[in-house]
Amino acid sequence: MSGPITLADFADMSVDVLAGIGPKRSAGFAALDITNLYDLITTYPRRYIDRTNEARIADLHPGDEGMVMVEVVSVTSRRTRNRRTMVLVDVTDGTGSLRVTFFNQGWRTRQLSAGTHVVLFGRCEDYRGARQMTNPIVDLVPGTNTGRIVPIYPNSEKAGIGTSELTAAIGEILRRSAKRGFAEPVPTHLLKRHGLVTRDEAIKLIHMPESMAQVEIARRRLIYDELFRIQVALVRRKRELELTTVGVSHSPDGPLVDAFVSALPFRLTSAQQRTIDEMFADLTAVAPMHRLLQGDVGAGKTIVAVAGLLAAVQNGHQGALMAPTEVLAEQHHLSIRELVGRLEVPDPTTLAGTRPLRVELLTNRTTAAERRKLAAALDRQQVDIMIGTHALIEDGVQFRSLGLVVIDEQHRFGVEQRAALRDKGADGAVPDVLVMTATPIPRTAAMTVYGDLDVSVLDELPPGRTPIVTRWIRLASEDESGELDLTGVDQGAEERMWNHVRDQVSAGRQVYVVTPLVEESAKLEVSSAEATHARLANEELIGLSVGLLHGRVPSAEKESTMAAFRAGDIDVLVATTVIEVGVDVANATVMVILDADRFGIAQLHQLRGRVGRGSQASSCFLVASATNEVAIRRLEAMVSTTDGFELAEIDLELRGEGTIMGERQKGRSDLKLASLRRDRYWVEKARADAIELIGVDPTLDGHQPLADEVLRLLADDETEFLLKS
Ligand code: ADP
Ligand code: MG
């Protein structure tokens, strides 16, 4: 082989092609998920030690804090009188010697031995006339390193891999590839546009920088590299679908959509209008729509979905809406029936030439006989809009002509399930797909996580909503010794909260009480809900009509409880998170969340969205003790804002990237340096560049090295995902 090396070439070379890497070292690397040279070269330093700040032992005075680079001379260990382990290490740097003492770090005897090179950072003390450091920060470094900046790599003592091993292996790759250099997959004009160095330079600089400024230059390029590659993959996939699949073209102009919109008792918000326009543009096109509708709870996504479904029906097709739970499907069925109930569709078999538009519901509660009837009606296209749960994708359910699929709370469905629903049309046409989510994620994260979808955002609530006031009812917490910690606790607050609940009920309003999330077991969660229900009904809320809803309530009872709550026959509904999504009772004005510290931000936000849906002032109470720092920040965030997008940003900050990518892609992340949060600027740039590039060269034929990388370097799960979506 000759010519510059591509990263894809490297992915084909196993680590044991390197000198000095035998089976044992290979196994060690494998334990760190490093199996080939691509993995190795993209294992980046976690941080760097800047030796311009280095001191010589001879110049360290007691009281000085300093960093020294030393070699270990000897290591001994003993126990102190109060049975603590003490490891004594003597080190030297040629200018002097230093005694290092570690308390309670017995493992240091395994980490350090005579001849080991380490960088120590700590305060120099005087111990009987000799220099000493106690419990300094220790970094193992290769003895051979003479550079001013020393990279520190990820370390796994168990695998026997650390900075020395990685420096050696990566150093050898760089030496052996120095002549050929690394191929440049990114077009030069893009590098120029952003002032980025070549990949060849960036890879060298990140591993062997001479200054921290060089590290920054390298990082910037490599961050762009990662983001650009992902965006090219996503945008190309999207374009490919648009070019190769023939979908259904629906004209949005027609009697049904018009009649629906003009019969609405309110005006569309401008966000709804914009989103509907975006969707209609997609529906008109022959290429199938793949659009994500992000909208905060209560933003009015249902209206948008119905407008789309009616456009499909008006063009002679059927529509399907799939929701993740029975409660939600039933709710959608009720509200959509209400919205479209008086519309008529053409039907030549009737005397009038029309019949009422028919909306049906299919869930696991549907009886076998009913299901057979519905299936037959679907097949004869007598059902126009079918709403349901997973039951929709079961065998035996087939649409005559499926034109639009709407998937609510899409993150609750797997790729397979979404694909299965899409294949439900008997005529084989590829329907348009609208996926909806009320779990907002930040824009740049959406560009990556949902980069193969078009995104519409409903960023405006319908007018007349009064903002929800959120309060944290802080309970006392117990410290380790069982002492009650009363910091910030207002002891009358909980009682006042229940009084407020009673007042609201007297005023004719309704209330939700959400019981603690018990992650270990659904059974425990149910018993906690039952216990809370029993207590509230007999104590705090005695005399009120208190209902109970949880995952194990039989579905007939669930349905009747929900019906009673909607009808106002139940004042207070005690429930687990089964009410998290979609439940819509405008008369409910108070949300009480018990043990709120156990819930994540997205969930708290969803739950809070169950109130504030009407014109009445609403409130949300988060009842929790201050258990840990992150929980406190979540609760404070909830109190400070009701803006789902702002909360999503905070959530991303608190949880880190992994979880966001995890929503779509399990396993190894392709982002090794880039952060969707920190590097928003580069996400946007990379996406715009990818769109531009794919616009000119949709197949990437003119950008072979890039095409290669996209195909081979992205984690398998992700490519697989992309192919199925
Ligand atoms: P989402 O599904 O986005 O949480 P919904 O579609 O359930 O929100 O709408 C929430 C409530 O707002 C519903 O009661 C709906 O009828 C009402 N609504 C929707 N759009 C508007 C609007 N433009 N003006 C007033 N109310 C609206
Ligand atoms: Mg909804």
> What does the pLDDT look like over 292-335, one tens digit per residue?
998 887 789 999 999 999 999 999 999 999 998 887 898 899 98
**Domain count of the chain?**
4
Cα distances (Å, whole numbers) of residue 117 to 28, 91, 130: 21, 9, 21
Determine whether the shortest distance from the Cβ of 410 to ligand 1 is under 6 A.
no
Least reliable range by pLDDT among 106-115, 203-212, 347-356, 591-600: 347-356
Give the per-residue pLDDT at 504. 96
Specify whether the CB–CB gap between 218 and 206 falls below 8 A.
Answer: yes
**482 & 587 share domain:** yes
For residues 339 and 661, the model is more confident at 339
Nearest CA to ligand 1 atom 20: 300
Using the 3D structure, point to which of 183, 202, 230 is the last residue of a domain: 183
Please tell me the pTM assigned to this model: 0.69
Specify the CATH number for the domain of residue 550: 3.40.50.300
Report if residue 696 sits inside a domain: no
Q: What is the mean pLDDT of the chain?
A: 87
With a cut of 50, say whether residue 19 has pLDDT above it. yes
The span from the CA of 45 to the CA of 258, in Å, is 60
Residues 6+ apart with CB under 8 A from 245: 287, 288, 430
Mean pLDDT over residues 421-430, rounded? 79
| Ligand 1 binding pocket includes 268 (Cβ within 6 Å) | yes
Residues 486 and 582 in one domain: yes
* pLDDT number for residue 20: 82
State what percent of residues in the chain have pLDDT above 90.
51
CA of 586 to the centre of ligand 2 (A): 13
Cα three-residue angle 150-151-152, rounded to 5 degrees: 115
Mutate to test the pocket of ligand 1, among 406, 584, 610 (most ligand atoms within 8 A of CB): 584
pLDDT of residue 518: 76
Nearest Cα neighbor of 283 from 310, 256, 259 is 310
Atom of ligand 1 nearest to the CA of 303: 6
Which residues, 6+ apart, have CB-to-CB distance to 472 below 8 Å? 596, 622, 624, 635, 636, 638, 639
The distance in angstroms from the start CA to the end CA of the chain is 37
Q: Are strands 484-485 and 477-478 parallel, antiparallel or unpaired?
A: antiparallel
Could you tell me the distance, in angstroms and rounded to a whole number, from the CA of residue 607 to the centre of ligand 2? Answer: 13
Q: Which amino acid is at 493?
A: A
Q: Helix 415-422 crosses helix 716-724 at what angle (to 10 degrees)?
A: 20
Structure confidence by residue, pLDDT tens digits, 215-238: 999 999 999 999 999 889 888 888
Last residue of a domain, one of 458, 493, 517: 458
Q: Please report which confidence band the pLDDT of residue 479 belongs to, taking 50, 70 and 90 as the band edges.
A: low
Strands 402-408, 546-549: pairing kind: unpaired
Question: Does 354 lie in the same domain as 421?
Answer: yes
pLDDT band at residue 241 under the 50/70/90 scheme: confident
Strands across the sheet containing 359-362: 359-362, 385-388, 318-322, 402-408, 432-437, 290-295, 454-458
> What is d(CA 74, CA 514) in angstroms, rounded to the nearest whole number?
61
Residue 372 belongs to some domain of the structure: yes
Tell me the residue range of the domain where 161 lies. 1-51+147-183
Q: Are 372 and 495 in a shared domain?
A: no
State the maximum Cα–Cα separation within the chain, in Å, rounded to a whole number.
110
What is the distance in A from the centroid of ligand 1 to the CA of 304?
Answer: 10
Confirm if 404 and 614 have CB atoms less than 8 A apart. no
Of 260, 273, 303, 336, the residue with max ligand 1 atoms within 8 A of its CB, to mutate for a pocket test, comes to 303
Please report, for residues 330, 365, 561, 660, the alpha-carbon distance to residue 555 in angstroms, rounded to integers and kept in the order given: 11, 7, 10, 32
- 519 and 482 share one domain: yes
Residue where a domain stops, chosen among 145, 168, 202: 145
What single letter denotes the amino acid at residue 44?
Y
Q: What is the pLDDT of residue 453?
A: 80
**322 and 355, same domain (yes or no):** yes
pLDDT of 418 higher than 80: no
**Which domain CATH number covers 100?**
2.40.50.140
Question: Which of 268, 302, 332 to mutate for ligand 1's pocket (most ligand atoms within 8 Å of CB)?
Answer: 302
Ligand 1 atom nearest the C-alpha of 584 is: 7
Average pLDDT over residues 407-416: 72
Q: Would you say the CB of residue 715 lies under 6 angstroms from ligand 1?
A: no
C-alpha span between 607 and 647 (Å, rounded)? 14
Q: Is 295 in the pocket of ligand 1 (CB under 6 A)?
A: yes
- Taking only the tens place, the pLDDT of each residue in 608-623 is 988 988 788 999 999 9
> Under DSSP, is residue 241 helix (H, G, I), strand (E, B) or coil?
helix
> What span, in angstroms and rounded, lies between the C-alpha atoms of 123 and 133?
6
Exposure string of 690-705, with b = 16+ CB inside 10 Å and e = fewer, is: beebbeeeeebeebeb
Residues 364 and 452 reside in one and the same domain: yes
- Is the domain of 594 the same as that of 507? yes
Which residues 6+ apart lie within 8 Å of 431 measured at CB? Answer: 247, 248, 288, 312, 317, 402, 403, 404, 405, 422, 425
Give the model's pLDDT for residue 317.
94
Give the phi and the psi of residue 396 in degrees, each rounded to 5.
90, -15
Residue 184: pLDDT band with limits 50, 70, 90: very high
Secondary structure (3-state) at 372 = helix
- Among 9-23, 214-228, 542-556, the range of highest mean pLDDT: 214-228
What's the CA-to-centroid distance between 328 and ligand 2, angstroms? 8
The reply to whether 193 falls in a domain is no
- What pLDDT is recorded for position 668? 41
**334 lies in some domain:** yes
Please tell me whether residues 476 and 367 are part of one structural domain: no
550 pLDDT more than 80: yes
Q: How far apart are CA 141 and CA 162, in angstroms?
A: 9
Residue 673, domain member (yes or no): no
Same domain, 368 and 513: no
Q: Could you identify the residue written with the tokens 């550079």?
A: 147
Do residues 434 and 555 both lie within one domain? Answer: no
Ligand nearest to the CA of 296: 1
Q: How confident is residue 411, by pLDDT bands cut at 50, 70 and 90?
A: low
List the structure tokens of 669: 């992340």
446 in a domain, yes or no?
yes
In this structure, the answer to whether residues 163 and 28 fall within a common structural domain is: yes
In a domain, 693, yes or no: no
pLDDT for residue 141? 87
Task: With respect to residue 159, please indicate whether it lies within any of the assigned structural domains.
Answer: yes
